[in-house]
Amino acid sequence: MAYKNGNYSAFYVDEPFNQNNLGANATKDFVSYNLLKAWKALTSDFPFTDSHDKNYNVRDGSDWEKTLKPRLHDRLNNSKNIILFLSSITKNSKALREEIDFGINTNGLPIIVVYPEYSEKSDIINCGSNTIKKQIKDLWDKLPIFRDSMDKVPTIHTPNKKELIKTALNDSKFMVNTKCEPEQYFYKC
């Protein structure tokens, strides 16, 4: 059995993707992923272990079936959870569908959903009723495989706030080998 210690980050970027392209670095979801890497670089106790660093990088021009898809699977196989960045620009791309489908439906990886456009708990939930807001649920429709599969694994919804993301990353309930019951979780106001 593989040692599952990585955090797999899933995010939408225009295809074909080029990490060195200025356009990629202006995409909210990719910027949020880079923010996780920056927090880790600044503070060694930030609990982010990037699964994308676990094997060699490939170019988006590589063959999907022979190279890209197996590389995604390898990274997911060695991950303890998925950090999904979900925003208004997220699109239902082939790569994102594959990451979420394989991660949830094959590996049973818990999901930490980060909403890059929201910074407060009250942006995610209705504080009076402690229910997830409609504007957040509407984002789930951007990625139907996520919307339709998330009831199979524990899923925590969090704004793009360092301390809340750190708490979720440290929480054993959102790690594959110690996960809790499949349900929707969030931080209450």
CATH tag, 6-186: 3.40.50.11200
Instruction: Report the percent of the chain where pLDDT is more than 90.
Output: 74
Residue 176 tokens read as 């594959």
Give the C-alpha separation, 51 to 29, whole Å: 17
Could you read off the pLDDT of 124-145 as tens digits, one per residue? 999 999 999 999 999 999 999 9
Give the DSSP letter of residue 103: I
Q: Provide φ and ψ at 141, rounded to 5°.
A: -65, -20
**Which residue ranges make up each domain of the chain?**
6-186
The per-residue pLDDT for 30 is 84
DSSP track, 50-91? BGGGSS----TTS-IIIIIHHHHHHHHHTEEEEEEE--TT--
> Which whole number is the average pLDDT over 1-13?
83
The 10s digit of each residue's pLDDT in 29-75 is: 888 999 999 999 999 899 999 998 765 555 555 666 777 888 899 99
